[in-house]
Amino acid sequence: MGTELDCDVLVIGGGVVGLTTAVVLAERGVRVRLWTRDPVERTTSAVAGALWWPYRIEPVVPVRAWALRSLEVYEELAARPEATGVRMVEGVLGETGLDEVGAWAAARLPGLRVATVEEYPLGSGVRARLPLIDMPVHLPWLRERFLAAGGVVEARTVADLSETGVPVVVNCSGLGARELVPDPSVRPVRGQLVVVENPGVRTWTVSTGADGSMAYLFPQPGRRLVLGGTAEEDVWSPEPDPGVAEAIVRRCAVLCPAVAGARVLEHRVGLRPARDAVRLERVPLPGGRVLVHNYGHGGAGVTVAWGCAEEAAVLAAR
């Protein structure tokens, strides 16, 4: 490193945050390179379920704005679901009242209403039509859109943010920021999922138990049903735990008994890049160069990706 690269902006990170940021920049006419340590299918982003809904992400006020902007984009992308992996799907958020959804979202969520007892027998819930994103389709689609806009993707691991030789660096390294920045306030929140053959579930459901445990069912194309989930703070293990997988299926079977016998297709584990607050910030570097941070999106990087990408692009241009 240290040599001049033929680009205006270097984006570090090829998860949903880095790819979306790179797309926004490249489509504004900026010459962008993206470096990623891992191929898209090995990122945390590839693990996500992925429902549009803020979860384990701070600070509340900007998160709402980033999420609503992303909602607009996902609604547009849902017009071409086979290509983009984005669909608008009906479902129920359990243990939630209309008042708890919050005025910020209530006015914008398509079809928001109280769920009927048939739709959610376990208690109170709200029903809405939200973006549900199939990440194994969406991430490669983002990469292709970036390449079509003139972007370049390279498999490279960055060791030092100050030695890239590029005028503007945008750091979208997720949990990698812990070592790269370095920023010890970025911590893993481990999540495990089980993907089963869908026994006929058409809508999504999210339910939170009295002990705080989560159960959710996200139907994806190709007869895949994503079952979740867990959130274990400061746990680094990338290996699926069979006992945890059994517990996930058991909790989901309370919501939908047919999943108890469904064939397991895949186990997924991801480490959410959690932080007290998303870091979206411009830092001047010596020699007039600029570093823009865009990391720490916790459990909702997909939910806020477009809002954050647009803000990062503005910070990178000033």
Ligand X SMILES: Cc1cc2nc3c(=O)[nH]c(=O)nc-3n(C[C@H](O)[C@H](O)[C@H](O)COP(=O)(O)OP(=O)(O)OC[C@H]3O[C@@H](n4cnc5c(N)ncnc54)[C@H](O)[C@@H]3O)c2cc1C
Specify the 3-state DSSP secondary structure of 223.
coil
Find out whether 302 and 86 touch, Cβ atoms under 8 Å.
no
Tokens (6 digits) for 86: 């984005």
Say how many CA atoms lie within 13 Å of 211 toward its Cβ. Answer: 5
In whole angstroms, the minimum distance from the beta carbon of 114 to ligand X comes to: 23
Our finding on whether 299 is near ligand X (CB under 6 A) is yes
In whole angstroms, the minimum distance from the beta carbon of 117 to ligand X comes to: 26
Q: Exposed (0-12), middle (13-18) or buried (19+): which is 47, by Cβ within 10 Å?
A: buried
Q: Of 25-33, 97-105, 290-298, 310-318, which segment contacts ligand X by CB under 6 A?
A: 290-298
Pick from 84, 164, 173, 220: which binds ligand X (CB under 6 A)?
Answer: 173
> x-or-dash pattern for ligand X, window 3-22, by CB under 6 A?
---------xxxxxxx----
Pick from 7, 10, 11, 47: which binds ligand X (CB under 6 A)?
Answer: 47
CA dihedral 230, 236, 238, 242 (to 10 degrees): -50
> x-or-dash pattern for ligand X, window 97-126, by CB under 6 A?
------------------------------
Find out whether 251 and 242 touch, Cβ atoms under 8 Å.
no
Pick from 25, 137, 193, 291: which binds ligand X (CB under 6 A)?
Answer: 193
Q: Of 73-81, 143-151, 265-273, 306-314, which segment contacts ligand X by CB under 6 A?
A: 265-273
Q: Which helix H or strand E contains 153, and what residues bound it?
A: strand 152-155
Specify the 3-state DSSP secondary structure of 171.
strand
User: How far apart are alpha carbons 187 and 83 in whole angstroms?
Assistant: 33
Our finding on whether 95 is near ligand X (CB under 6 A) is no
> x-or-dash pattern for ligand X, window 216-255, by CB under 6 A?
-------------x--------------------------
In whole angstroms, the minimum distance from the beta carbon of 135 to ligand X comes to: 8
In whole angstroms, the minimum distance from the beta carbon of 263 to ligand X comes to: 20
Find out whether 282 and 290 touch, Cβ atoms under 8 Å.
yes
Say how many residues make up the chain. 318
Q: Which is nearer to ligand X, 71 or 257 (CB)?
A: 71
Find out whether 315 and 278 touch, Cβ atoms under 8 Å.
no
Our finding on whether 207 is near ligand X (CB under 6 A) is no
Find out whether 215 and 192 touch, Cβ atoms under 8 Å.
no
In whole angstroms, the minimum distance from the beta carbon of 35 to ligand X comes to: 5
Q: Exposed (0-12), middle (13-18) or buried (19+): which is 2, by Cβ within 10 Å?
A: exposed
> x-or-dash pattern for ligand X, window 53-92, by CB under 6 A?
----------------------------------------
Our finding on whether 48 is near ligand X (CB under 6 A) is yes
Tokens (6 digits) for 100: 């708890």
Residues that bind ligand X (CB under 6 A): 12-18, 35-38, 43-45, 47-51, 157-158, 172-176, 180, 191, 193, 229, 270, 272-273, 295, 297-303
